[in-house]
Amino acid sequence: MKYAESIIDTIGNTPLVKLNKITQEIQSLVLAKVESFNPGNSVKDRMALKMIEDAEKDGRLKPGGTIVEGTSGNTGMGLALTAIVKGYKLICVSTDKQSKEKFDVLKAVGAKVIVCPTNVSPEDPNSYYSVSKRIAEKTPNSWYVNQYDNLSNTLAHYETTGPEIWDQTDGKITDFVVGVGTGGTISGVGKFLKEKNPNIRIWGIDTYGSVFKKYHETGIFDKNEIYPYVTEGIGEDILPKNVNFSLIDHFEKVTDKDAALYTRKLAKLEGIFAGNSCGAAIKGILQLKENFKKNNIVVVLLHDSGSRYIAKIYNDDWMKKMKFL
Ligand SMILES: Cc1ncc(COP(=O)(O)O)c(C=O)c1O
């Protein structure tokens, strides 16, 4: 018989799928690592499991404890699945920018969800960074995950996602393109791939309203770069410890409108029903097309599933309201 011991044993080993139409104007073979195949429907299952396992090992997380995290949903889902299997409670703190379905899904898998305002600075006592820290301090036997600075996040991708991509391409990958939020995915995969072959280029996709690109290019943390934006999951107003800037060759910014439109195109042209940041990554590849020649093998990682964006990206009324259609 072939079966998994629990749902968390099905995390990882996601497929690599050739893009046939959406990147047609690019000469390279473009392959998508489709992370919605994870049980929580996103790449974040990988790092959630690793962060919990590492915290168990060094005693930060104790039996019957409560896991507290500031999460936009995908990390929460990964934490929830692992918490159920391992017998922990989970409190997720998020922002009102996120799709409502994400909160409903988290509640469905047993998490308590607390929603904070988006448009406040990280230092504001009502920000989701501050609220999650405060809840963790006040809840007995609790552990604050902190996916931004918890380096087990990067390690999960160094140990699983990176090696999978290397093996699936027989070591022939030349370029890795991925949206950057906490930085765990790009830094873990990037470190693994560059150790295997330092010529592999690592391309980070950023949003307008985020500090990453300017910081990477100038070393300046420019508060003027920060303003509200719509794209979910990528771009930041902080510098997470998980972003290893030295591994990243270039950051490319994609607009909210393009991210939304290309997410819809991905579903229509390739049959890949993916999330908002995936459209940004695809549009980023097209913006960077001069760099991708016939012999290049480009891997783009698609973080999550479209099911969490039905009321937004995949809803015509919302798209019109945002002036994206
Ligand atoms: C939908 C989505 N896209 C992209 C990312 C960015 O991934 P990472 O945090 O590993 O940089 C995340 C995670 O925050 C996400 O949830």
Give the residue with greater pLDDT, 121 vs 211. 211
- 102 and 222, same domain (yes or no): no
- 217 located within any domain: yes
Handedness of CA 204, 36, 18, 166 (dihedral sign): positive
Residue 270 lies in a domain: yes
In a domain, 151, yes or no: no
In a domain? residue 70 = yes
Q: What's the chain's average pLDDT?
A: 96
Q: Whose alpha carbon is nearest atom 7 of ligand 1?
A: 181
Among the listed ranges 31-45, 48-62, 109-123, 247-261, which one has the minimum average pLDDT value?
A: 109-123
Given a cut of 90, whether residue 119 has pLDDT beyond it is no
In ligand 1, the atom with minimum distance to the C-alpha of 73 is 16
Structural domains counted in the chain: 2
Ligand 1 centroid to Cα of residue 72, in Å, is 9
**The pLDDT value given to residue 182:** 97
Q: What's the whole-number mean pLDDT along residues 301-318?
A: 95
- Would 241 be classed as within a structural domain? yes
Written as six digits, the tokens of 297 are 């093998």
Q: Which mutation among 33, 38, 43, 97 tests ligand 1's pocket best, with the greatest number of atoms within 8 A of CB? A: 43
- Residue 2 within any structural domain of the chain: no
What would the mean pLDDT of 126-138 be, rounded to a whole number? Answer: 91
Q: Are residues 171 and 282 in the same domain?
A: yes
Clarify whether residues 177 and 256 are in a common domain: yes
Please give the average per-residue pLDDT across 199-208, as a whole number: 98
Cβ atoms 221, 215 nearer than 8 A? yes
Q: Which pLDDT belongs to residue 96?
A: 87
Q: Which residue range forms the structural domain that includes residue 311?
A: 7-39+157-321
Which residue, judged by its Cα, is nearest atom 3 of ligand 1? 233
Does residue 285 sit in the same domain as residue 308?
Answer: yes
**180 and 295 housed in the same domain:** yes
Pocket of ligand 1 (CB under 6 A): 44, 72, 74, 179-186, 232-234, 275, 277, 303-304
- Residues 84, 178, single domain; the answer is no
pTM for this prediction:
0.96
What is the 38 CA–ligand 1 centroid distance (Å)? 14
139 C-alpha vs ligand 1 centroid, how far in Å? Answer: 27
One domain for residues 140 and 185: no
Secondary structure of the chain as H, E, C letters: CCCCCCHHHHCCCCCEEECCCCCCCCCCEEEEEEHHHCCCCECHHHHHHHHHHHHHHCCCCCCCCEEEEECCCHHHHHHHHHHHHHCCEEEEEEECCCCHHHHHHHHHCCCEEEEECCCCCCCCCCCHHHHHHHHHHHCCCEEECCCCCCCHHHHHHHHHHHHHHHHHCCCCCCEEEEECCCCHHHHHHHHHHHHHCCCCEEEEEEECCCCHHHHHHHCCCCHHHCCCCCCCCCCCCCCCCCCCHHHCCEEEEECHHHHHHHHHHHHHHHCCCECHHHHHHHHHHHHCHHHCCCCCEEEEEECEEHHHHCCCCCCHHHHHHCCCC
Pair (205, 80) in one structural domain: no
Tell me which residue has its CA closest to atom 6 in ligand 1: 181
Instruction: Verify that 77 and 222 share a domain, yes or no.
Output: no
Look at residue 97 in the predicted model and tell me its pLDDT: 76
The average pLDDT across 277-299 equals 98
Residues tagged active-site: 44
Distance 155 CA to ligand 1 centre (A): 15
Same domain, 55 and 186: no
pLDDT tens figures, 143-187: 999 999 999 999 999 999 999 999 999 999 999 999 999 999 999
pLDDT at 10 over 90: yes
Tokens representing 106 are 């988290």
Looking at the structure, tell me whether residues 29 and 164 fall in a common domain.
yes
Q: What CATH number should be reported for the domain holding residue 303?
A: 3.40.50.1100
Task: Identify the band that residue 303 occupies on the pLDDT scale cut at 50, 70 and 90.
Answer: very high
- pLDDT-derived band at 73 (thresholds 50, 70, 90) equals confident
- The closest residue, in CA terms, to atom 12 on ligand 1 is 233
- Same domain membership, residue 310 and residue 231: yes
**pLDDT band at 72, cuts 50/70/90?**
low
Task: Output the residue whose Cα is nearest ligand 1's atom 4.
Answer: 233
The answer to whether position 34 is within a domain reads yes
Closest ligand 1 atom to 147 CA: 9
**pLDDT for 299 beyond 90:** yes
pLDDT digits 0-9 by tens, 209-265: 999 999 999 999 999 999 999 999 999 999 999 999 999 999 999 999 999 999 999
Residue 99, pLDDT above cutoff 80: no
Span from the CA of 2 to the centroid of ligand 1 (angstroms):
32
